[in-house]
Amino acid sequence: MSIINKFDLTGKTALVTGCKRGIGKAMAVALAEAGANVIGVSASLEINGSDVEKEIKALGREFTAFQCDFGKRASLYAFIAEVTAKFPVIDILVNNAGTIMRKPAAEHPDEYWDEVININQTAQFILTRDIGKRMIARGSGKVIFTASLLTFQGGINVPGYAASKGAVGSLTKAFANEWASRG
């Protein structure tokens, strides 16, 4: 068997958050190149005609777009209800959505902290918990988190971001410790 066959995702469905640009877009396209159909979500993703949709459809894969403000819990829960109703089986979850707000720690307002933590940490936990429990029930699934070098280094003028990415590193380990043996 060729090594590329080990990466064949034909027939799989991947949900990629923050897929409009950057790392999320690259991951969505790569998953489609490997054969997966992609569900994309971002706060500002066009429902039709986005660049990521065009690239994925050009590969012969399906793409479905959603918009969600992960900073608002009600919006997150509404998205989860809608996406799981439309796609009862999500094989791969890529937690990539994130934000950064810059101000020195001594001046970093609560609003910055709350928004970054809600988007980068809380939303990823809730989404993983709710999609992941379906994976556990099936005994199959993959969850990927995008962290940052600041997970380990801290940062300057980005205390909320550094804290949230450090938490994502630990959250990844916590989910792996509980779920890895369950498929």
Give the pLDDT confidence score for residue 172 in this predicted structure.
93
Q: What tokens were used for 74? A: 């009600």
Tens digits of residue pLDDT in 55-109: 999 999 999 999 999 999 999 999 999 999 999 999 999 999 999 999 999 999 9
**145 and 119 in contact (C-beta within 8 Å)?**
no
Tell me the β-bridge partners of 67: 42
**56 and 104 in contact (C-beta within 8 Å)?**
no
Q: Residues near 90 by Cβ (< 8 Å), separated by ≥ 6?
A: 13, 14, 15, 39, 83, 84, 131, 134, 135, 141
**53 and 63 in contact (C-beta within 8 Å)?**
yes
Give the pLDDT confidence score for residue 6 in this predicted structure.
78
pTM of the full predicted structure? 0.94
Mean pLDDT of 41-55: 97
* List 37, 161, 166, 167, catalytic entry: 161
> Domains of the chain, with CATH numbers?
3-174 (3.40.50.720)
**119 and 98 in contact (C-beta within 8 Å)?**
yes
Tens digits of residue pLDDT in 150-165: 777 778 999 999 999 9
Is residue 114 predicted with pLDDT exceeding 90? yes
1 pLDDT band, cuts 50/70/90, is low
In Å, how far from its chain's centre is CA 111?
23
Q: Residues near 145 by Cβ (< 8 Å), separated by ≥ 6?
A: 95, 124, 128, 168, 169, 171, 172
Dihedral pair phi/psi, residue 11, rounded to 5° = 85, -5
**42 and 99 in contact (C-beta within 8 Å)?**
no
177 pLDDT band, cuts 50/70/90, is very high
Give the β-pairing of 37-42 and 63-67.
parallel
Active site residue 77: no
